[in-house]
Amino acid sequence: MKINLISGALGAEISGLDLKDSSEENWRVINQLLLEHKVLFFRNQNISAEEQINFAKRFGPIERHVYVKGRDQYPEIIRIIKKPDEKQQWGETWHTDVSYNPKPTKVIILRSIKIPPVGGDTMFSNMELAYETLDNDLKEKIKDKKAVHSSLGAAAFVDAYKGMEGNGNLDEYSNIHPIVRTHPETGKKILYVNSMYTKRIEGLDESESSKLLKELFAHQERLDLTCRFKWTENAVAIWDNRSTQHQGLTDFFPGRGLGHERVMDRIAIEGDQPI
């Protein structure tokens, strides 16, 4: 096994491990690497849908997306499609997946099927480091505070994307989570807000809440907390959704990435209630 760090903040590209191997031993090695590096990248993993599902199950029960229909033969898998003429893609703002759920996603396993020649890299940011590097005044301001996370409704996930199909649920809903959560496996503190889904801080008026959230979002998006992954076909990214944020870059421009389809298969593992 070989481990190449992607940045000083988080991320490692792993070679010498086969994701076809869903044994307990192989999973334990990968899970330990995941807790250390937050996001892992594997290239040249020509795995089937069944193999992706079998490996995902090692992390826990598979989560069904509240708004998006899974693949016909594999409903556990969401196929994320950017059509050739589309300039936007899923997840183009910094976010933690489904932070609006009562129990947000634990781990994401994303496999590339078709990749444009350029464009559509994914950025990741380390939210444990984001908390550690907050100044003491901000830490005091958010101590014991909670925030409201909104699902935005089905339209945000399907209406703007020709290749995405809803599952019929249209309701928008919210849940409240601590601004600083504790990682259930490592005990580390995590700055748990994000600019896509976090809407307000409980106990503050609208002006105070907006100002404080803007400060936190700007801090979370500092480049020194991030890494960037350039996709190739048959690559797999596995990330700890509890301790990271991510963003899909929409740098699809004429003569570059625009005009090419981008297809990814996503599996999510059920998480726990943030505390």
Q: Name the residue ranges covered by the structural domains of the chain.
A: 2-269
Q: Rounded to whole angstroms, how far apart are CA atoms 89 and 110?
A: 15
Per DSSP, the three-state class of 196 is coil
pTM here?
0.97
Burial (CB count <10 Å: 0-12, 13-18, 19+), residue 138:
middle
Say how many C-beta atoms besides its own lie within 10 A of residue 111's C-beta: 25
Report CA torsion sign: 118, 120, 126, 131. positive
> Which residues face 79 on adjacent strands?
265
| pLDDT-wise least confident of 89-93, 106-110, 113-117 | 89-93
H helix runs in the chain, sequence order: 24-37, 49-56, 127-132, 136-142, 155-158, 206-220
**Strand boundaries in the chain, DSSP class E:** 2-5, 12-15, 39-42, 62-63, 78-82, 107-114, 122-126, 146-150, 174-178, 180-182, 189-191, 198-201, 226-229, 236-240, 244-248, 262-269
Rounded mean pLDDT, 157-184: 94
Q: Which CATH superfamily is domain 2-269 in?
A: Clavaminate synthase-like (3.60.130.10)
> Which residues face 112 on adjacent strands?
264
Q: What would the pLDDT profile of 31-76 be if each residue is shown by its tens digit?
A: 999 999 999 999 999 999 999 999 999 999 999 999 999 999 999 9
- Confidence tier at 160 by pLDDT (50, 70, 90): confident
Burial (CB count <10 Å: 0-12, 13-18, 19+), residue 132:
middle
- Confidence tier at 264 by pLDDT (50, 70, 90): very high
Tokens linked to 253 = 């421009």
Tokens linked to 228 = 């960037």
Q: What would the pLDDT profile of 218-231 be if each residue is shown by its tens digit?
A: 999 999 999 999 99
| Residue 19 confidence (pLDDT) above 90 | yes
The number of CA neighbours under 13 Å toward the Cβ of 228 is: 10
